[in-house]
Amino acid sequence: MKFRIRRHDGIEDEVTVREFETYEEAYDLLESIYADICCSDSDYEDRPYYDIFDSNECNSLESSSKYKLS
């Protein structure tokens, strides 16, 4: 099973175009992106929010959203 990261706002970036062999690899990348943020940081909303999905689930979500837009 492979994993992908998807932004909540649907925008593709250098993080979302990658595919990972394990959930842990994807998690480690996100951890490195958010490593400098503390829970009390007020600018947290300025950063995109990501979720990790199984590649098949992510592809399924992308296809269904394409049909909804048509």
Quick: pLDDT tens for 21-43: 999 999 999 999 887 766 655 55
Q: What is the CA radius of gyration of the chain?
A: 13
Report pTM. 0.68
Give per-residue pLDDT as tens, 44-66.
Answer: 566 788 999 998 875 555 554 44
Three-class SS of 36-56: CCCCCCHHHHHCCCEEEEEHH
Q: What is the pLDDT of residue 69?
A: 39
Which H or E run includes 62?
A: helix 55-69
In the chain, where the domains are located: 3-69
Residue 6 pLDDT greater than 50, yes or no: yes
Q: Taking the CA of residue 20 as centre, how many other CA atoms within 13 Å lie in the half-sphere pointing to its CB?
A: 19
Q: What is the pLDDT of residue 53?
A: 93
CB 6 within 8 A of CB 65: no
